Amino acid sequence: MASHQSKPQKETVGRVMHEFKHGELRSGASGKKVKNPRQAIAIALSEAGASNQQSPQVNKQHLRRTKAKEARGETAQAEAEGRGGSKAHVRSRGHTRADLYRKARERDIPGRSKMSKSELERAVRDR
C-alpha cells in the first residue's frame, strides 16, 4: 500500500474491502466473484489510484472514475443497500436486457435466449 493515501483513497479502499468481506466484490470484465484477499487488495488500490504498478496519470484517472461511479451509486455496496442502480436504469428508467433475461429465466420463459429486449419486456410483463 502507498504510505500516504489521501482521504478519498482511504475511503475507496475501505469500500472495496467491505465489498470483498461481504462477497459482493466482482472482478473486471469476467464479473466473477473475487475470493482471493490479495486480488481484492490489488483491485482496491487500483480503484483508489494508489497502485505502485501504474503511472501517476493512470492512478489519477482511476480515482476520478471511481469517485464518479460512487457518486452515481454504481458500486456493489450501494446497490446492496438499495441506494444505487446501473447506468441503464438511470437513463431509461427501465430495465436492462440482462435484468429482463434474468426475470425471464426465473419464470422459465421458453425461447428467452433469442429474444430482443423489447420481446423480453413483453414476455416478462405477460407472465
Confirm whether 33 is domain-assigned: yes
pLDDT in tens, 26-45: 988 888 999 999 999 999 99
Each residue's pLDDT tens digit, 39-97: 999 999 999 999 999 999 999 999 999 998 888 888 887 777 776 655 444 444 568 89
Q: Is residue 27 part of a domain?
A: yes
- Where does residue 124 fall: left (phi above 0), alpha (psi -120 to 50 degrees), or beta otherwise? alpha
3-state secondary structure of 78: helix
Check whether residue 50 and residue 112 sit in a common domain: no
Q: 63 in a domain, yes or no?
A: yes
Are 19 and 77 part of one and the same domain? Answer: yes
| Residues 22 and 53 occupy one common structural domain | yes
Q: Does some domain include residue 2?
A: no
For residues 76 and 42, state if they share a domain: yes
What distances in angstroms separate CA 113 from CA 21, 86, 105, 106, 116, one per listed residue? Answer: 33, 22, 9, 13, 8
Positive or negative, the Cα torsion across 27, 30, 33, 37?
Answer: negative
Counted domains in the chain: 2
Does this model's pTM top 0.85?
Answer: no
Give me the domain span that covers residue 99: 91-126
